[in-house]
Amino acid sequence: MKAKKIIITLTMSVLMFSYGFGQTIAGSAHDFSQETWNPNGEICQVCHTPHGAVIGLVAPLWNHEVSTATYQLYTNLISPSFDGITTQPDGSSKLCLSCHDGTVPLDNFGGATGGSEFITGNELIGTNLTTEHPISFIYDAALATTDGGLFDPTTQTSGLGGTIDGDMLLAQKLQCSSCHDVHNGSGVGNLLIKSNAGSALCLTCHNM
């Protein structure tokens, strides 16, 4: 029994260590612990809570008010070569846009609704997504075939250990987190999931 307990403890420490290794949200652009609008000084709490979470969202235990904005979609551009179908943003992209579309105050978390702090500058994406890389559409082998300029996500390696589908897509969909790691796990600038030096990120999916 005792030996088992020690093994479990050791395994947990190893797991925690591997999870913690390279995970550097502290000090990243998403570390809001020093902000005056976050008086508790917690890092995770702005986005997550162990209790009383907003339900029905893909992110675990979500704690931030979610945007109800309607977006202008990439499809509004009517790019003739665009084969993807886009609907309103869904999945984890909706959570990013809760802060990045500029309609919900950053300090509206933990049930608070009276916030007054909004995202500004380059980080403000707004509600017009026609000029942003398309998101929230299915990227599968069929799309790769139709498009002709994309790798098959189910077989092509991502460079992150598995396939594009396994490492970069969520329920087969391309989302903000296909390119970004919200927790800065990679440590690459702009919270990117991997380096874009020489357009390496783009060329992970685009076969050009």
Residues at the contact surface with ligand HEC, assessed by CB under 6 A: 25, 29-30, 43-44, 46-48, 59-60, 64, 79, 81-84, 92-93, 95-100, 106, 119, 122-123, 125, 133-135, 139, 143, 147, 150, 164, 168, 174, 176-180, 182-183, 189-192, 196, 201-202, 204-206
Using CA atoms of 32, 34, 35, 39 in order, give the dihedral in degrees to the nearest 10. 100
Q: Which is nearer to ligand HEC, 41 or 189 (CB)?
A: 189
Q: How many CB atoms lie within 10 A of CB 16?
A: 10
Q: Cβ 155 to ligand HEC, closest distance in Å?
A: 14
- Min. distance of Cβ 186 from ligand HEC in angstroms? 12
* Residue closer to ligand HEC (CB basis): 44 or 141: 44
- Interstrand relation of 137-138 and 173-174 (parallel, antiparallel or unpaired): antiparallel
CB of residue 96 to ligand HEC, shortest distance in Å = 3
DSSP string covering 148-182, please? Answer: SSB--TTTSB-SSSSBHHHHH-BTTEE-HHHHB-T
Phi, psi of 50 (to 5 degrees): -75, -15
The single residue listed with the structure tokens 């996500």 is: 153
3-state secondary structure of 5: helix
Query: Residue 93 Cβ, how far from ligand HEC at the closest point, in Å?
Result: 5
Q: Look at residue 15 and give its three-state secondary structure.
A: helix
Nearer to ligand HEC, 43 or 73 (CB): 43
Nearer to ligand HEC, 3 or 153 (CB): 153
Tell me how far, at minimum, the Cβ of 167 lies from ligand HEC, in Å. Answer: 9
Output 7 or 76, the one with its CB closest to ligand HEC.
76
Radius of gyration, CA atoms only, the chain: 19
The answer to whether residues 173 and 136 touch, using CB atoms and an 8 Å cutoff, is yes
CA-to-CA distance for 126 and 184, rounded, in angstroms? 22
- Shortest Cβ 5–ligand HEC spacing (Å): 25
Q: Which is nearer to ligand HEC, 14 or 187 (CB)?
A: 187
